[in-house]
């Protein structure tokens, strides 16, 4: 597609449930990034893929968070045993490679844990 697509746009889940957030990057972009953003704050880095492998997962807050990108295109961010503190907007971005330029962001998934 023309841009980065994230689904769903909104997700409400109960505390303790499992959720999956999907990101479709721009076709041909080898680098894919996940960020988490609280209202009025800058996005916080979670994990970055170069191709199929996670090049840097240092931002994942704990082992309840996991992400995959099995074919080097679509990525899924998985959150187990959700907590109210996980409520945020989860943003995905892609770029042609892992260089300094060319990040394109999706509109995000707003996750609400109730």
Partner 1 sequence: TQLLEQSPQFLSIQEGENLTVYCNSSSVFSSLQWYRQEPGEGPVLLVTVVTGGEVKKLKRLTFQFGDARKDSSLHITAAQPGDTVLYLCAANGGATNKLIFGTGTLLAVQP
Binding positions for partner 1, rule: CB under 8 A: 4, 33, 35, 40-45, 48, 55-56, 58-59, 91, 93, 98-101, 103, 105-108
How far apart CA 23 and CA 68 sit, in angstroms, is 10
Q: Which is nearer to partner 1, 34 or 80 (CB)?
A: 34
Going 54 to 38 to 74 to 13, the CA torsion angle's sign is positive
Q: Which is nearer to partner 1, 14 or 58 (CB)?
A: 58
Residues with Cβ within 8 Å of 63's Cβ and at least 6 positions away in sequence, in order, are none
Q: How far is the CB of 43 from partner 1 (least distance, A)?
A: 5
Q: How far is the CB of 44 from partner 1 (least distance, A)?
A: 8
Q: How far is the CB of 56 from partner 1 (least distance, A)?
A: 4
Q: Which is nearer to partner 1, 20 or 44 (CB)?
A: 44
Residues with Cβ within 8 Å of 7's Cβ and at least 6 positions away in sequence, in order, are 21, 22, 24, 109
């Amino acid at each position: 597609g023309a841009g980065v697509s994230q689904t769903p746009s909104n997700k409400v889940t109960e505390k303790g449930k499992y959720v999956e957030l999907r990101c479709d990057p721009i076709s041909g972009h080898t680098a894919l990034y996940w960020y988490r953003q609280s209202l009025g704050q800058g996005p916080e880095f979670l994990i970055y893929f170069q191709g199929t492998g996670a090049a840097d997962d240092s931002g994942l807050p704990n082992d309840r968070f996991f992400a995959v990108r099995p074919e080097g295109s679509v990525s899924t961010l998985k959150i187990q045993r959700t907590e109210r503190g996980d409520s945020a907007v989860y943003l995905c971005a892609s770029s042609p490679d892992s260089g300094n330029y060319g990040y394109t962001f999706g509109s995000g998934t707003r996750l609400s844990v109730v």
